Amino acid sequence: MITPKKFYMIRHGQSVANRDGYFSGNMDVELTDLGKEQASIARPHLENLTDKPLCIIHSHLQRARHTAEIMNQNLKLPMHETSLLGEHHFGDWHGEDWDIVRPHFFNGKNPPNGETHDEFMERVCKGINWALEFKGPVLIACHGGVFRAFNRLYNQPHQSIENCVLYEFTPHEATPDFPWRIQPIDS
């Protein structure tokens, strides 16, 4: 499971694949102009935190890296990159239309020639725990799949995560089945 330490996590801004409606997974696609704007709009939420992160950990994919860079323009925190927090490897589904593949994916089918749901969940668990080894709190800039994998680790239902919404994850021992309090930061 995940080390019980406070951290922040944000999904990257809108990518070209998000805009165009296809599975990008581990393909390295860039942010759209809207995605860059979303990160700029989210930046003050990070800067206004009372308990600011001490570093930023981001996926190796440019959409997460660029989001992290925009978020960090004023704070100038140390940044660390890892492929452990990259998006799900979708194999044969890379580049496929989201509306066609989505029902199969969310019904638990593993991507052909890709990473299984379990393999992805294990990788994300390693990645988050690696990030939490840094003095924190830390900010993790990643992908929607990382949020899904986090929920799956605790047998929680999938929840849609919007682009560039900052979330605070705080250990919450009062709920042993899901020992986390997750709150969006919107001011």
Quote the CA–CA distance of 93 and 95 in Å, as a whole number. Answer: 6
Residue 1 lies in a domain: no
Contact 1, 125 (CB under 8 A): yes
Residue 114 lies in a domain: yes
φ/ψ (deg, to 5) at 88: -55, 135
pLDDT at 173: 82
- State the catalytic residue, choosing from 58, 66, 87, 96: 87
In a domain, 93, yes or no: yes
- Which class for 145: exposed (0-12), middle (13-18), buried (19 or more C-beta within 10 A)? buried
Whether residue 14 lies inside any domain: the answer is yes
Per-residue confidence (pLDDT) for residue 159, from 0 to 100: 81
- State the total domains in the chain: 1
Residue of 12, 89, 94, 143 with catalytic role: 12
Q: Is residue 2 part of a domain?
A: no
CATH of the domain at 46: 3.40.50.1240
Q: Is 68 a member of any domain?
A: yes
143 in active site:
no
38 within some domain: yes
- Closest to 88 in 3D by CA, of 161, 144, 29: 144
Q: Token match 């605070």: residue?
A: 168
Helix, strand or coil for residue 27? coil
Q: What pLDDT does 176 receive? A: 74
- Model pLDDT, residue 187: 61
Examine the residue annotation and report whether 87 is marked as an active-site residue of this protein. Answer: yes
Task: Output phi, psi for 58, to 5 deg.
Answer: -135, 155
Which stretches of the chain score pLDDT less than 70? 187
Residue 149 lies in domain:
7-185
Is there a contact between 72 and 95 (Cβ–Cβ < 8 Å)? no
Asked whether residue 11 is domain-assigned, the answer is: yes
pLDDT digits (tens, 9 = 90+) for 27-49: 999 999 999 999 999 999 999 99
